[in-house]
Chain A
Amino acid sequence: MTTIAPPPAADAPTARPALGDRLRRFAPLSPTLAAVAILVVLFVGAELTFGNFITPRNLSALLLDNAYLIMLAVGLTFVILTGGIDLSVGSVMAFTGILGAKMLADGIPVLVVLPAMILGGAAIGALIGALVQYFDVQPFIASLAGLFLARGFAFVVSLSSIRVEDPVVLWLQSTRLRIGDWYLTPTGIIALLVVAIAAAVLRWTRFGRTVYAIGGSEQSARLMGLAVGRTKVIVYLISGVCGGLAGLMLTAYSGAGYPLNGVGTELDAIAAVVIGGTLLAGGQGYVLGSLVGVLVYGGIKSVISFTGADQSWTRIIIGGLLLLFIIVQRLIVARADRR
């Protein structure tokens, strides 16, 4: 106690390798890069095993089959980046899907139906956001209420499946813009567009920086004078809007609205976001990572259907991957805490 502490070594900063410093700047990227690596390994492994896995047709179908999940994952990424969670996304998708199908069946023009679907999702998102922000309800419980509400509304609209005959909605799915064997449907284009917009918003706007700041530390963000309350509500609103769009995608994809659609999809979406490298504690992650997460999820599904194995393996493997990623994230967070 009485000994005088030696002066701090002057060469301490230079002793650190510059390479480490440079690598550390990319530390937040590493889970996402790991997801990309898994995606590549998955695809290459499947190609080596089956021989005809990486075909333009198969990869195009991957985007088409999972367009709705991409939408949900994008919205959820915003919420999770702020450190929240939204359990309602699957139910919102079912609700807006059956709402749209019912309105179309009643002869309401598609120009009214599409905004109504998005507004329906936005309303539930806004409700969750208001509960979280203004009534201090935990996101888990608030979005649980949203889940029940949306699922119930879906059944209020219709107890059974409703076919969609509307040419515009079916066009979203059936049109194929071909380049050789590659093809892209309007749903796929919308999904990619939404990913691009979301990535740009998070990267280059004040709103996006606020989202990251809230996830890093809500208190600090507030002390910095950022619009924390408004941003948190908007984040849930975005998730609701994405749920509405996902409802449109799924309705176009299956050609029908069904109130039991998407039971448990919220978990798939959360898993995709986490596998894509977004930290559940908030503050770290990328929308593009979530896109990769969805593709990993879809890739596993199609690999399993290639092997002809039971689809129940999909859930088990996704669970295992999720575990792998949260342990990776745990290590990253632990290292960040030590610094």
Chain B
Amino acid sequence: MRAVLRSRLLWPVLALVALVVVNTVARPSFLGITVRDGELYGSLIDILRNSAPLMLVALGMTIVIATRGIDLSVGAIMAVSGSVSLTFIDSSSDPDGVGTVMIAIVMGVALALLLGVWNGFLVAVLGIQPIIATLVLMLAGRGVALLITDGFITTVTSAPYRFMAQGYLVGLPFALYVSLVAIAVIVLLERRTALGMLTEAVGINPSASRLAGVRSRGIVWGAYIASGVLSGVAGILYSSNIMAADANAAGLYIELYAILAVVLGGTSLMGGRFSIAGTVIGVLTIQTLLSTITFLGVPPAVSPVFMAAAVIIVVLIQSPRVHGWTSAAAARLRARRTPERTEVTA
């Protein structure tokens, strides 16, 4: 019991459970999953499916934040990769061909990888503050995406491309598999090898870990590359969902949602220890919150107020001052209880 109470995942999980309970009370059909043509449908499935892009971006963000960095450019990278892929499909003679779509995806992800390399170079080699280094790409990236799409919103029809975000595989949305594969790969890399420990070492104290022989430069660089690649895939999923390359709207504010998911999951922005499970829970919490807001009939535009309230509540719960208050209150409770006990034993 004590282990459960001490777990860093306690609050994130409680928040998610509370949200699910509220939803189930408000509309009993929330937990319902229906089978249609062997495919599963329902609110929960929608949440899992729609969370895929945010999941990918947040996983990358977790690694970057673990190295004491931050990647503001993820939304811009999403816009670039989606624009490249769709522009390629649009210009090809066979938009419905699987080969065309494959090349398009590889192009999008490869470009995202290059952008990740660029971010990592600025941070790890030139030693520029991460928030500013990635701000450069955040500003310029959408400009690049606009150039790629010529300033238009490129819409295409391509069945294989559409499949990625909207298709089903063995009864479950394909996008869910993409999320699961990404989670599995990150967990295997970071938790089944020493990479995770080294990442945390770099995040806790960059110079100490360098003196201890950790190749911190490569680890930091790798984190930004991972973030770039994951954002690239997220951009392809996003553009596949709407089947349009929108350089301005793709991934708008996703960096903020991703950072929020990471913080919700209990990873500190100060770097060091990180929790992939926490991030997954954080992403699901945000997605459930968004779906709740929509269900409550709140105009989607107003949802930022709820997000703001969520951010403020979470950071307050995590703040040392509030911890001080709660532990002081607990101590007072204990102090009130102890005299009674001494009377009993006396």
| Shortest beta-carbon distance from B54 to chain A in Å | 15
Chain B residue numbers with a CB within 8 Å of A190 are none
A280 touches B131 (CB 8 A): yes
Chain A residue numbers with a CB within 8 Å of B259 are 140-141, 144
A254: CB under 8 A from chain B? Answer: no
A312 touches B305 (CB 8 A): no
B144 touches A316 (CB 8 A): yes
Known: A144-B311, A155-B304. A330 touches B126 (CB 8 A): yes
* Contact string against A for B residues 61-101, beta-carbon threshold 8 Å, 1 for contact and 0 otherwise: 00000000010000000000000000000000000000000
Chain A residue numbers with a CB within 8 Å of B129 are 280-281, 326
Which single residue of chain B is at the shortest CB-CB distance from A137?
B315
A274: CB under 8 A from chain B? Answer: yes
**How would you classify the secondary structure of chain B's contact residues: helix, strand, loop or mixed?**
helix
B31: CB under 8 A from chain A? Answer: no
Interface footprint category on A:
35 or more
| B window 140-160: CB within 8 A of A | 140-144, 146-147, 151
| Shortest beta-carbon distance from B127 to chain A in Å | 7
A259 touches B304 (CB 8 A): no
For B141, B147, B301, B319, the residue with the greatest tally of chain A CB atoms inside 10 Å of its CB is B301
| Shortest beta-carbon distance from A157 to chain B in Å | 10
B225: CB under 8 A from chain A? Answer: no
B52: CB under 8 A from chain A? Answer: no
B138: CB under 8 A from chain A? Answer: yes
A315 touches B70 (CB 8 A): no
Chain A residue numbers with a CB within 8 Å of B320 are 136
For A274, give its contact among B132, B260, B321 (CB under 8 Å).
B132
Chain A residue numbers with a CB within 8 Å of B141 are 319
B315 touches A142 (CB 8 A): yes
Chain B residue numbers with a CB within 8 Å of A313 are 143, 147
For A135, give its contact among B128, B263, B309, B316 (CB under 8 Å).
B316
B139: CB under 8 A from chain A? Answer: yes
Chain A residue numbers with a CB within 8 Å of B260 are 144
| B window 301-333: CB within 8 A of A | 301-309, 311-312, 315-316, 319-322
A136 touches B321 (CB 8 A): yes
For B127, give its contact among A263, A319, A330 (CB under 8 Å).
A330
B299: CB under 8 A from chain A? Answer: yes
Chain A residue numbers with a CB within 8 Å of B319 are 135-137
Cα(A141)–Cα(B320), bound, Å: 15
Chain B residue numbers with a CB within 8 Å of A319 are 136-137, 139-141, 143
Cα(A268)–Cα(B129), bound, Å: 18
B308 touches A145 (CB 8 A): yes
Count, A-B residue pairs, CB within 8 A: 129
A315 touches B140 (CB 8 A): yes
* Contact string against B for A residues 313-330, beta-carbon threshold 8 Å, 1 for contact and 0 otherwise: 111101110110011001
Chain A residue numbers with a CB within 8 Å of B302 are 152, 155-156
Which single residue of chain B is at the shortest CB-CB distance from A155?
B301
Cα(A315)–Cα(B144), bound, Å: 8
For A152, give its contact among B140, B270, B305, B322 (CB under 8 Å).
B305
A181: CB under 8 A from chain B? Answer: no
A42: CB under 8 A from chain B? Answer: no
| B window 88-136: CB within 8 A of A | 122, 126-129, 131-133, 135-136
Cα(A324)–Cα(B302), bound, Å: 38
B252: CB under 8 A from chain A? Answer: yes
Interface footprint category on B:
35 or more
| Shortest beta-carbon distance from A127 to chain B in Å | 8
For B139, give its contact among A142, A146, A149, A318 (CB under 8 Å).
A318
Chain B residue numbers with a CB within 8 Å of A145 are 308, 311-312, 315
Cα(A14)–Cα(B139), bound, Å: 47
A140 touches B311 (CB 8 A): no
Cα(A280)–Cα(B142), bound, Å: 23
| Shortest beta-carbon distance from B322 to chain A in Å | 7
Cα(A131)–Cα(B319), bound, Å: 9
Known: A145-B311, A280-B129. A140 touches B269 (CB 8 A): yes
Chain B residue numbers with a CB within 8 Å of A259 are 301
* Contact string against A for B residues 242-282, beta-carbon threshold 8 Å, 1 for contact and 0 otherwise: 00000100001000100110010000011000000000000
* Contact string against B for A residues 142-166, beta-carbon threshold 8 Å, 1 for contact and 0 otherwise: 1011111101110110010000000
For B131, give its contact among A140, A156, A263, A330 (CB under 8 Å).
A140
| A window 225-241: CB within 8 A of B | none
Known: A155-B302, A312-B146. A322 touches B139 (CB 8 A): yes
| Shortest beta-carbon distance from A326 to chain B in Å | 5
A322 touches B136 (CB 8 A): yes
Known: A144-B256, A145-B312, A149-B308. A159 touches B139 (CB 8 A): no
| A window 280-328: CB within 8 A of B | 280-281, 310, 312-316, 318-320, 322-323, 326-327
Show 9 residue pairs from A and B whose CB-CB distance is below 8 angstroms, ordered by the A residue: A136-B320, A138-B269, A144-B311, A146-B308, A271-B139, A274-B132, A319-B141, A327-B126, A327-B128
